[in-house]
Amino acid sequence: MKDADKAFEEFVRSRSPALVRYGYVLTGNPHDAADLAQEALARLGSAWSRVRKKDDPEGYARTTMARLHISRWRRLRRERLVGEPPDRGYADPGLDRAEGDAGLWRALGELPRRQRAVLVLRYYEHHTDEEIAALLGISRGTVRSQAARALDKLRANWAPAHASTTAGGVK
């Protein structure tokens, strides 16, 4: 096995769980998250010799995941797929332990896709409004309005419940 192959294998072994968690934040679905991570790693594998030398491999994979996710929801929006919603939601215990309050993640998962993508790219990935606009193919003003609407929804749906459970130091 070549050194480059070993390096890629080690990268996949060490960073796959984090990439799947990132995919979960983007999609709100563990199966879609795993698909995104797998596709991004496949594309990274094809470009490994180029990316590992001059770029950040994890950044490459995360950018690929964001772009794939955006492409999928644009395609789905055009197709207007209709199906039965699941009987119950999925809660990832690893995500809850790693990131704190699960209620926030559930509230984030209830946001419309574009609003969720804007918040994830802004606060989880630390992109600027201009970068988000370029990634999503929307204007900077739309990024700002989507972020404001999403934050308003999160404050209305999550913050009051969270504040009442933590009032007086009792959880």
Of 54-58, 64-68, 91-95, 125-129, give the lowest mean pLDDT range.
91-95
Residues of the chain with CATH 1.10.10.10: 101-171
The more confidently predicted of residues 101 and 23 is 23
- pLDDT for residue 67: 92
Nearest to 95 by CA among 26, 149, 164: 26
Tokens representing residue 106 in the block: 């559930």
Structure confidence by residue, pLDDT tens digits, 25-82: 888 889 999 999 999 999 999 888 888 777 789 999 999 999 999 888 777 665 554 4
Chain centre distance of CA 145 = 19
CATH number belonging to domain 101-171: 1.10.10.10
Residue 96: pLDDT band by 50, 70, 90 thresholds? very low
Residue 130 pLDDT greater than 70, yes or no: yes
pTM: 0.49
Provide the mean pLDDT of the chain: 79
The domain made up of 1-85 has a fold known as Rna Polymerase Sigma Factor; Chain: A (1.10.1740)
Q: How far is CA 51 from CA 47, 60, 160, in A?
A: 6, 8, 45
